[in-house]
Structure 1
Amino acid sequence: MFCSHCGAQMAPDAAFCSVCGKAAGSTSSPVSLDKPSAPGPAPQAPGDIPDGVKGWSWGAFLLNWIWAIGNRSWIGLLSLVPYLGWIVVFWLGFKGREMAWKNKQWDSLEHFNRVQRKWSQWGIGITLAAIVLAILAAMATPALEDYARRTAGETARQDDTPPPADDAAVTARGLIDSNADNLPASLSTVAGLLDRRTNADGSRSLTLGGRVLFSGEDASWQFPLRSFALSGGREAILMARSGDRGNSCETLFFFLLADASGVKPTPMFGTCAPRGSFVQRDDVIEIQLPDVSGNSTIVLRDGVVIKDGQVVGMTGLNDPSR
């Protein structure tokens, strides 16, 4: 028999324990030899922020509205608002982690910190990549501009060079430019001197051998470009009219067909482009002018102007003398 209190052996008929003095059969609780356990942490109230949540968030600061959507912190979308957005961005950096903890279900504090660390890594990585790209773009821009200028200059030089005269029938080939600086003020023709004059009253006139061909406002815009020798002592004088009576067309052209008896104008023609090229084959003159569809071809043959295969007739709108 053993004492139920201290565990000492007792005589079978003993009424009391000879060691602790307790009565046999006592129901007193045995002495516990274990140390008392420490009190557990007090339960947190809803909305409390545990230690390890607060702090600066690079993910919220750098990715702002993207971070706000991913962490259900919708107030972070105010970072898209002009002017106010800069204030919200810094506020997200300071308070973003706390808002994310409150607005999303997390498995644990470790899970929360792991996700927020990834947001920060992505934010820093994207920002650094953007800075590097901006620096590279700034370094490359001057080189690209210089390349564009050099390419444009080479193209212009190529345009200014007439194609080689490989056609045996070609008697003349070159460029025409109504905006050139060295255009002639007068031109000697088989019918006399073609001359642009300024009258005493300041008006302009175009004369041939002293006789007025064109006068008034139109004469201020008409001037010769070059002459083409034709068979039989004839001549075709290419004329330009800039301004075209005040409308938006920059330049139109026409010919003065001259012989010993005088001159006769052809209808005006063109695409409003001031520059083009010409080829003369005996008495046929072909002019190429750029237009919206590529090029337009004007041919002078036997005193008739043909544009893209269609004869150009004289009307009140294309008569250079009106």
Structure 2
Amino acid sequence: MNCSKCNAPLQGHEAFCPNCGVFISIEEPMKPEAPTTERPVESSNSADYVSYPNTHSNTFHPQTAYTTSSVPPEIKKWNWGAFTFSLFWGIGNYNYLPLLCLIPFFNFIWVFVCGAKGNEWAWKSGKFNNVEDFLAVQETWNRAGFVSFIITLIACGVSILLFFLSFLTSAFFS
């Protein structure tokens, strides 16, 4: 069996094509159809995927491509970039829900929501072609967000330490 998108040979029951990264569905095979120039939408009991014919042969191989309504499970994880840089991350990922961080007092809660749901929001923006591209882009946001978070924690810790040291020295020398 070959990948319907890039025609790379597939071995076994892989979930993703090793060449292009498109999700491969393990559905029951459909009857062969005549090749068409259109890409038909396969109707099913789930609106989470679209099936495309394999244009490289006369057989129809079902293949699942994620749409903006479905979120792959490997994407559902914490996003440090969305947590730390909520406003900039939201604009960079074509998602404007993080702009709610501009609301005073509400922003303390909303940054945690952004960190938890950020990857899903970014995936649903439709900007990314496959999971690997998405994860590569979000990895840079995650790295920068995590480093910034750690630097902020260290700076706060040093500030608190200096405050207590100044308090102790002023009390000691008074």
- TM-score under structure 1 length normalisation: 0.31
Closer, same or farther: CA 141–83 of 1 in aligned 2, 3 Å: closer
How many Å apart are 1:129 and its aligned residue? 0.8
Q: CA deviation at 1:58?
A: 2.3
Amino acid at match of 2:162: A
- Counterpart position of 1:113: 135
Pair 1:59-2:81 in alignment: yes
CA deviation profile, 1:176-211 (whole Å, cap 9, x unmatched): xxxxxxxxxxxxxxxxxxxxxxxxxxxxxxxxxxxx
Q: What percent identity do the matched residue pairs reach? A: 27
Contact 2:76 2:120 in 1 (8 A): yes
Matched, 1:41 2:97: no
2:125 to 92, 103, 107: 103
User: How many residue pairs align between the two structures?
Assistant: 114
Partner of 1:126: 148
Q: CA separation of 1:131/1:72 partners in 2, compared to 1, >3 Å: closer, same or farther? A: same
Instruction: Using CA pairs under 8 Å that are at least 6 residues apart, name the structure with larger relative contact order, 1 or 2.
Output: 2
**Structure 1 residue 144: deviation in Å?**
5.1
Seen in structure 2, the aligned counterparts of structure 1 residues 122 and 44 have a Cα distance that, compared at 3 Å, is closer
TM-superposed deviation, 1:121: 1.5
Residues 211-238 of structure 1: CA deviation (Å, up to 9, x unaligned): xxxxxxxxxxxxxxxxxxxxxxxxxxxx
CA distance in 2 between partners of 1:133 and 1:45 (Å) = 42
CA distance in 2, matches of 1:43, 1:127: 35
Residue 51 (structure 1) shift: 4.1
CA root-mean-square deviation:
3.0
Distance 1:111 1:43 in 2: 14
**Residue 135 of structure 1: which of 157, 165, 170 is its match?**
157
Cα distance change on mapping 1:139 and 1:103 into 2, 3 Å: same
Q: Distance in 2 between matches of 1:46 and 1:144?
A: 54
In structure 2, the residue matched to 1:93 is 115
Query: TM-score, normalization: structure 2?
Result: 0.53
Matched residue SS, 1:52: helix
For 2:118 and 2:112, the matched residues in 1 are separated by 9
Q: Distance in 1 between matches of 2:80 and 2:135?
A: 13
Question: Aligned letter for 1:70?
Answer: G
5 Å matches for 1:145-156?
146=169
CA distance in structure 2 between the aligned counterparts of 1:141 and 1:46, rounded to whole angstroms: 49
CA distance in 2, matches of 1:42, 1:131: 43
Structure number having the greater strand percentage: 1
State the partner residue of 1:83. 105
CA distance in 2, matches of 1:43, 1:104: 12
| Consecutive unaligned residues in structure 1, runs of 5 or more | 1-36, 154-322
